[in-house]
Amino acid sequence: MLKQLKSIIILAMIALVTLCGATSCNSSKGMSKKEYKAAVKQAEHDLNAILNDETDWTLEEQLDRINELKKIDFSKKNPEIVEMIERAEQKVTNAIAERDRIAEQKRLEEEQRLRELEEQNKPKTALTDYFTMIANAKDVTTANNFIKEALKMFESPDAVVLIRLNNYGDYDRPTTAVNYLNYLKDQKKVNVAVDNVKYNEEHKITELELIKK
């Protein structure tokens, strides 16, 4: 009886091994040998297409396909496919990161372009208008705010301001942009006209020459 029981167990084990050889034990997730072989062939085809940029799939579609292939256990019989999967995944994730970086850079550049365009389209206040606004300001705070805005037109608050007294070449003592604008605030009147302006490369005033009216 014991001998018969041992024989039955041995026969059952042999049958199990034979069954595994014909189905999932030699492949992955219940695949038959035929199915596994087809999966290997398709995986090689798709991975080569991804690695060699020979596919019409989007980057997201390529990544989806790679993730599908990662679900199949190729490690035992086809480790080279595992290596291809790793290379393809790295290639696609790098490409997605670079695409997103470029898109973000273009977005920021477009925002900057629109800001500059908006700035260019803003009505410009002429320097002589600032003179009048400062002299006629309703209070000191308002005048000081106009002075701050006007000084943006100069290279620095210490930009030279020359005041020509007449057409014979007589000049008042040289002053600076900030000092002259504060002078207008105190005097509350404008009795000069712009005669000559010098600019730097950034179109900021480096020297201003005025003439008394």
Question: Beta partners for 197?
Answer: 208
Residue 29: per-residue pLDDT: 62
Residue 22 belongs to a domain? no
CA neighbor of 163 nearest in space, from 208, 130, 198, 111: 208
pLDDT tens digits along 167-190: 888 899 999 999 999 999 999 999
Q: Residue 37: is its pLDDT beyond 90?
A: yes
pLDDT tens digits along 62-117: 999 999 999 999 999 999 999 999 999 999 999 999 999 999 999 999 999 998 88
Same domain, 32 and 115: yes
Q: Of 119, 152, 167, which residue is a domain's last? A: 119
Residue 20 belongs to a domain? no
CA distance 57 to 49: 10
Residue 113: per-residue pLDDT: 92
Instruction: List the domain range (segments joined by +) for residue 34.
Output: 28-119
Mean pLDDT, the chain, integer? 86
Q: Residue 14: is its pLDDT beyond 50?
A: no
Same domain, 147 and 82: no
Structurally, the chain folds into a number of domains equal to 2
Question: Beta partners for 210?
Answer: 163, 194
Question: Beta partners for 23?
Answer: none
Residue 27: per-residue pLDDT: 44
Same domain, 136 and 174: yes
Decide if 29 contacts 73 (C-beta within 8 A).
yes
CA distance 173 to 138: 29
Same domain, 46 and 102: yes
Residue 168: per-residue pLDDT: 82
pLDDT tens digits along 133-155: 999 999 999 999 999 999 999 99
3-state secondary structure of 33: helix
Cβ-based neighbour number of residue 110 at 10 Å: 10
3-state secondary structure of 204: coil
Same domain, 77 and 115: yes
